[in-house]
Amino acid sequence: MNNTTVPDFTWKEKLCERLLEFVWRFRKPTFLIVMGGPGAGKGTLSSSLSPALNLAHISTGNLLRKEVARKTEIGAKVEEVMKSGGFAGDRITLYLLKRELIRLKNWRGAILDGYPRTDLQAQLLEQMLFDWGLDLPLVVMIEVSEEDLIERLGGRLTCSNTSCGHTYHVSFQPPRAEGICDSCGSELIRRPDDEPDSIRNRLKEYTSKTAPLVRFYRDYNRLFVIKSTNKGGKEDVLKQVLELMKQQSAED
């Protein structure tokens, strides 16, 4: 999929990018990367951080699923890869991410959930931010054991409404009404990549491709590791990250 051609940005999108570059000269945005294996709680943490930090929550997974729902040429190729438990190509993912970041409503910055996943994606992100005159973002790594990850993913339910995308768990966080999203009332489904075979493939690919990113961001002194277990509460993880952001803001 890395050779898939992506379309050029529209003139309106290019104009938005130029406007944001001008704004960011005087008011630096805040970008935060949330990393972790499949099922680590990246989406849950990012959703909680978004209102607390007044930053957009951008999930590359949701961007990809929306593209699939739109039935575009890119979406069709993404769907094929996702069903096998693989990851979308670097060029496609960066294109969709950049298209979202240059929306004017995201001028304050954003929380990046699920990106980057590979060394190449990290380098592409670094170059994009450099072109905008920005530094590397902070990176929060949610560390969860493989056993806990498998337990989480095996019971995960996702809202079928791609504009919503809320997730639940049959044991840890069930919806109020069985099979129905609390937020929008749409049907809850099991994602194809949450099936047993896909889970094993995703964890294997995460270990081989995504985990080395730890070294990349550690070398830049931008990495912070937060441990999470199925017995611990998500509120504790949120509290730790907010305290970290407070400390970093004070240092800046």
- Indicate which residues carry an active-site annotation: 42, 117, 156, 191, 202
How many C-beta atoms surround the C-beta of residue 7 within 10 A?
10
The contacts of residue 127 (CB under 8 Å, 6+ apart) are none
Q: Can you tell me the distance from the alpha carbon of 154 to that of 130, in angstroms, rounded to the nearest whole number?
A: 39
Q: Are 36 and 44 in contact (CB under 8 A)?
A: no
State the angle between helix axes of 73-83 and 60-69 in degrees (0 to 180), rounded to the nearest 10: 120
How many C-beta atoms surround the C-beta of residue 177 within 10 A?
10
Whether residue 7 is preceded by a cis peptide bond, meaning omega within 30 degrees of 0, is no
Closest C-alpha among 19, 185, 193 to residue 106: 19
Tell me how far the alpha carbon of residue 108 is from its chain's centroid.
17
Distances (CA, A) of 124 to 59, 115, 214: 17, 11, 16
The one-character DSSP state at 41 is S
The contacts of residue 87 (CB under 8 Å, 6+ apart) are 81, 93, 117, 118, 205, 209
Tell me, what amino acid is at 122? Answer: A
